[in-house]
Amino acid sequence: MANAADRVTRVAADLMDSAAAEGARQSRSAKQQLDHWARIGRSVSGQHSAARRKVEAALAGGVELTELSVEEGVVFNAEISAAIEESLAGTDYGTLLSARGVTIVALDDSGQIVEHRPDGSSSVLHPHR
């Protein structure tokens, strides 16, 4: 049940699916699992221990990865993975490729294959009959 302080927000589908699966194993709802993960992440991110500073230095390229402990490596990998996923989610590949002169194809909302050309024109390749 939603708390009065809860806010409506969008969550990536893969995170929601993972939260639902893990939440079921932990006797939590998907929302409760996301809250749990967020609190853990907030706590870990807020730590300014020597280990955290070492991971941040590695992320900035100032420390060799071989200098990280196994636990620091796990945090490093999680940070890199999250950064990549955020970058991928925020990139408009259609616009990027179009600017480079690349023709792309994609499914439209009705499931038809549409060719999008760099000049801004598009056409359905195999219309439904």
C-beta of residue 116 within 8 angstroms of C-beta of residue 104 = yes
Q: What is the pLDDT of residue 63?
A: 92
Band the pLDDT of 127: cuts 50, 70, 90.
Answer: low
C-beta of residue 34 within 8 angstroms of C-beta of residue 41 = no
pTM over 0.75: no
Q: Which residue has the higher pLDDT, 12 or 32?
A: 32
What does 57-124 look like in DSSP terms, one character per residue?
A: HHHTTSS-GGGS-HHHHHHHHHHHHHHHHHHHHT--HHHHHHHTT--EEEE-TTS-EEEE-TTS-EEE
Give residue 64's identity as a one-letter amino acid code.
Answer: E
